[in-house]
Structure 1
Amino acid sequence: MELTESHTLPVPQQRAWEALNDTAILKACIPGCESIEADGKNAYAVALTASVGPVKARFKGRMQLADIDAPNSYTIVFEGQGGAAGFGKGDAHVKLEPAGDESTTLTYTANAQVGGKLAQIGSRLVDGAARKIAAEFFKRFGEQLGGGAAQEPAQEDAGAANAEADTQAASEGEGEGEGAEDQQKRKRSWTAWISKF
């Protein structure tokens, strides 16, 4: 499986680099992550729970950073065991480039192999799960960096933006007449909810 994506982060390159090397931020951003602990120089022991199609398992593994070129790029080499569910291993090359004074483009190419039950459920399900996990990671990562969700993919952010606008409109409308104002708020909330689907 190979996965290549780019995301725009709402912070300068140095700040993005520091966040990518902050285990507390990474733990908060990786879906299902239970722990990330130092395990040697530029290496970490990781425990997480993940679902891939019908297979849900707790994985324990190791992540090693290689080819480090701060604050521009590094390669993550990873391997993990999920007991009866199987195993996963591979690498991801992560590259940061400035996209203006206050934003950074993060591009990564990940290659992974799976075995055991994970390999039996089919590459389409595995690829889909990997993309979903990556999308959730970057959404959380953008929020941790203080700029809301990462700028791309823009499609998924539309519902969140509408919901945020509704919250702001609701707080601005407090203290004013109820009746029609309340109906307008409900209509906006309903629109935001519908737009997520």
Structure 2
Amino acid sequence: MISITETIAVPSPRKRVWEVISSPADVVSCITGAELGEEHEDGSFDGTLVVKFGAVRVRFGARVHLELDEDGFEGRLTARGKDGQAATRFTAEANFRVVEDGIGSKVAMNGEIKLTGKLTSLIEAGAGVVVSRMTKDFSARLVELCAGPAAEPEAPKAAQAAAPAPRPAAPATLTARIRAWWAALWSRRSARTGQGGTA
């Protein structure tokens, strides 16, 4: 059995973090090697995950159920599946909760994965390293995704885009260019006329 207990600090409001963490599509986008499959009538969905244990890559397929408590900012995930060759089967349960923090939010997660089959010893032996690596990647992508809609870094660009150039100056510049062009053209014509008169 593999036990997972993690707390991820996210410098974003709890409501925004909940929007992401309660969306299967968003969560899957934060997990390297994961893909979201078909959604079923009961609200469950299919998912796949490719995990590397040393030199061995294992592809898991699962049926996933997600229960959400919007008011409590809590959720529960259960999954049941097997690897691509049906050599190993697993069941997984995980609870997660988003809580407010002084400077943002925290996502607290705890769960268990039970394995049976040929690859059990291999997977359990490498679980510590794999979970650590996946948690690090997931945390970085979650923080990035939660910060996506934040307007702070985009506000200056948006303000600049709203007024890319001072419009009042544009006619003056255009007028000056027309006058300069007209003056040059008139000067050339005058010079030609002068040359024709002396010829």
**TM-score (normalised: structure 1):** 0.65
Aligned-residue offset at 1:104? 0.9
- In 2, distance between residues paired with 1:77 and 1:122? 19
Task: Map residues 33-44 of structure 1 onto 2, 5 A cutoff.
Answer: 33-44=34-45
- Asked if 1 retains the 8 angstrom alpha-carbon contact of 2:77 and 2:95, the reply is yes
Alpha-carbon contact 1:64-1:78 (below 8 Å) kept = yes
Question: Alpha-carbon deviation of 1:122?
Answer: 5.9
- Whichever residue aligns with residue 89 of structure 1, its letter is T
Question: Matched residues in 1 for 2:145 and 2:66: separation?
Answer: 22
Count of aligned positions: 145
Deviation at 1:93, TM superposition (A): 0.7
2:25/2:36 contact within 8 Å kept: no
> Residue 49 of structure 1 aligns to which amino acid in structure 2?
V
Which residue is equivalent to 1:99?
101
RMSD between aligned alpha carbons?
2.1
Give the AA of the match of 1:92.
Answer: A
- Check whether the contact 1:9–1:104 (CA below 8 A) recurs between aligned residues: yes
Aligned twin of 2:153: none
CA distance in 1, matches of 2:80, 2:54: 20
> Taking every aligned residue pair, what percent have the same amino acid on both sides?
23
**Matched residue, 1:47:** 48
Q: After alignment, is 103-112 or 125-134 more displaced?
A: 125-134
Q: How far apart, CA to CA, are the structure 1 residues paired with 2:97 and 2:7? A: 9
Q: Which protein shows a greater Rg?
A: 2
Deviations 1:6-34 (Å, cap 9, x if unpaired)? 11112111111111122332232111013
Contact 2:92 2:112 in 1 (8 A): yes
- Relative to the length of structure 2, the TM-score reads 0.65
Aligned to 2:64: 63
Question: Deviation digits for residues 151-179 of structure 1, max 9, x if unmatched?
Answer: xxxxxxxxxxxxxxxxxxxxxxxxxxxxx
Matches within 5 A, 1:109-188: 109-121=110-122, 123-146=124-147
Corresponding position: 1:6 with 2:42: no
SS in structure 2 at match of 1:88: strand
5+ residue gaps, structure 2:
149-199
**For residue 77 of structure 1, what is the amino acid of its counterpart?**
T
Map 1:16-31 → 2, pairs under 5 A: 16-31=17-32
TM-superposition CA deviations, 1:58-96 (whole Å, max 9, x none): 221111113x32152111101221133522221111011
